[in-house]
């Protein structure tokens, strides 16, 4: 299963997510220069459990190197596909999780998930001499947080059937639940012998779940709100899907449309699709300047059909994000 995009909107620019992707890209370019077969490089900056437990190996590495490796391993990759796969997953799931935590807490969350995933691999393979590398464990933590925070979000997924690409929208809790199950089955069946640190993925995912719970108990410092003033997106998605709801004995439909405070002030145009049964019409909606949160827009003739050829109306309640 290859995720293509998710349907969970983000109202903030994911600064830390893009910075992490940028750092990974710079390190990847460095790896291209040093070569992906450079064992000295991977042993120096990868997570090698034997560096900590086997004296004949640990004596060749300083304490500083041993501590740094717990962080540096999560910015290394074994090849182009490994790098692209991790960065694509971080791009899809990172923005929403960063918005939930706030930029600074998200950075700490990401690094802690990476460390915990490395420790999970270490404790289950304490004398392994194989370097563990990759952002997979930290990104698994991001996916674990997404699983808990946005279970009903839809993930557009590519499922290759031989040579035929099949695109389907899957609820996030199913997509990520299946992903976690695959990691667990591989870990139980193959273990470290497969060359993939499956238990690191599992440890990162569980860490993401626990850190979401912990974050709810931590006091707010106000720093996140100050930063969000600079990272808030100026515009909401141009195309939005309206989840229409009907009322008993009425042909009218009701839904919500989201815009930003800047769009509310100056007005904007949106394209909306309003699924109703098997019918998914696409409409252009003009939102006037100066609209207030909670304003209800009436779209004539966009409701349900009634006997006699008439149609009800659609009422859209305006939700203003980043309202000031």
The confidence score (pLDDT) of residue 88 equals 96
Q: Tell me which of 34-43, 78-87, 180-189, 306-315 is least confident.
A: 306-315
Q: In this structure, what token pair is assigned to residue 127?
A: 């004398």
pLDDT at residue 223 above 80?
no
Tell me the whole-structure pTM to 2 decimals. 0.77
- Per the model's pLDDT, the better-predicted residue between 280 and 176 turns out to be 176
pLDDT of residue 108: 96
Average pLDDT in the 283-294 region?
A: 87
Q: Three-class SS string for 251-297?
A: CCEEEEEEEEHHHHHHCEEEEEECCECCECCEEEEEECCCCCCCCEE
Mean pLDDT across the chain: 86
What is the Cα–Cα distance from 314 to 296, expressed in whole angstroms?
10
Q: Using alpha carbons only, what angle is made at residue 42 by residues 41 and 46, rounded to the nearest 5 degrees?
A: 125
Residue 302 is encoded by which pair of tokens?
A: 């966009």
Cα 33 to the chain's mean position, in Å? 30
Structure tokens at 149: 């925070």
Confidence class for position 229, pLDDT limits 50, 70, 90: low
Among 154-168, 234-248, 299-313, where is mean pLDDT lowest?
234-248
Mean per-residue pLDDT, 10-21: 90
Distance from chain centroid for Cα 275:
26
Query: Taking the CA of residue 209 as centre, how many other CA atoms within 13 Å lie in the half-sphere pointing to its CB?
Result: 13
Range with the lowest mean pLDDT among 2-16, 33-47, 268-282? 268-282
Residue 277 has φ and ψ, to the nearest 5°, of 70, -130
The whole-number pLDDT of residue 279 equals 54
Sign of CA dihedral 9, 15, 20, 21: positive
Beta-bridge partner residues of 253: 246, 314
What average pLDDT does range 153-178 have in this prediction? 86
pLDDT tens across 108-136, in order?
Answer: 999 999 999 999 999 998 998 999 999 99
Tokens coding 129: 């001499």
How would residue 313 be classed by pLDDT, with cut points 50, 70 and 90?
A: confident
pLDDT tens-digit profile of 38-97? 999 999 999 999 999 998 998 999 999 999 999 999 999 999 999 999 999 999 999 999
Burial of 91 (0-12, 13-18, 19+ CB in 10 A): middle
Please give the pLDDT value at position 303: 79
Confidence band (pLDDT; 50, 70, 90) for 190?
Answer: low
Chain centre to alpha carbon of residue 129: 32
At residue 192, the pLDDT reads 47
Average pLDDT over residues 185-189: 83
Per-residue pLDDT tens over the stretch 232-259: 666 667 777 777 788 877 888 888 888 8
- The domain locations on the chain are 2-230, 234-321
**DSSP H or E run through 63:** helix 63-72
Tell me which fold the domain 234-321 belongs to: HSP40/DNAj peptide-binding domain (2.60.260)
Instruction: Say what percent of the chain tops pLDDT 70.
Output: 92
Which residues, in sequence order, are bridge partners of residue 160? 165
In the predicted structure, residue 13 carries a pLDDT above the cut 60: yes
Q: What angle do CA 175, 178, 179 make, to 5 degrees?
A: 85
Q: Give the pLDDT mean for 95-110.
A: 94
What CATH code would you report for 2-230?
A: 1.20.1540.10
Binning pLDDT at 50, 70 and 90, where does residue 195 land? low
């Amino acid at each position: 299963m290859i995720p293509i995009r998710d349907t969970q909107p983000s109202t903030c620019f994911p600064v830390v997510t893009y910075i992490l992707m940028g750092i990974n890209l710079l390190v990847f370019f460095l790896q291209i220069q040093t070569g992906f077969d450079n064992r000295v490089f991977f042993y120096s900056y990868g997570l090698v459990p034997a560096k900590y437990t086997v004296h004949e190996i640990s004596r060749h590495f300083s304490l500083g190197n041993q501590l740094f490796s717990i962080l540096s391993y999560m910015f290394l990759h074994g090849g182009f596909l490994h790098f692209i796969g991790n960065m694509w997953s971080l791009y899809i799931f990172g923005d929403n999780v960063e918005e939930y935590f706030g930029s600074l807490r998200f950075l700490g969350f990401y690094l802690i998930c990476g460390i915990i995933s490395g420790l999970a691999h270490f404790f289950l393979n304490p004398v392994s001499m194989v370097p563990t590398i990759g952002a997979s464990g930290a990104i698994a933590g991001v996916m674990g947080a997404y699983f808990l925070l946005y279970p009903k979000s839809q993930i557009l997924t590519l499922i290759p059937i031989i040579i035929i690409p099949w695109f389907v929208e899957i609820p996030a809790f199913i997509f990520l639940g299946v992903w976690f199950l695959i990691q667990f089955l591989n870990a139980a069946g193959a273990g470290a012998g497969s060359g993939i640190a499956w238990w690191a993925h599992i440890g990162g995912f569980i860490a993401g779940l626990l850190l979401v719970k912990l974050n709810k108990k931590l006091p707010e410092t106000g720093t996140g709100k100050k930063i969000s003033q600079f990272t808030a997106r100026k515009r909401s998605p141009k195309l939005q899907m309206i989840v229409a709801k009907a009322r008993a004995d009425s042909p009218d439909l009701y839904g919500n449309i989201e815009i930003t405070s800047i769009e509310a002030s100056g007005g904007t145009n949106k394209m909306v699709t309003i699924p109703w049964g098997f019918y998914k019409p696409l409409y252009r909606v003009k939102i006037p300047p100066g609209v207030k949160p909670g304003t209800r827009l009436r779209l004539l003739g966009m409701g349900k059909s009634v006997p006699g050829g008439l149609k009800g109306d659609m009422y859209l309640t305006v939700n203003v994000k980043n309202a000031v």
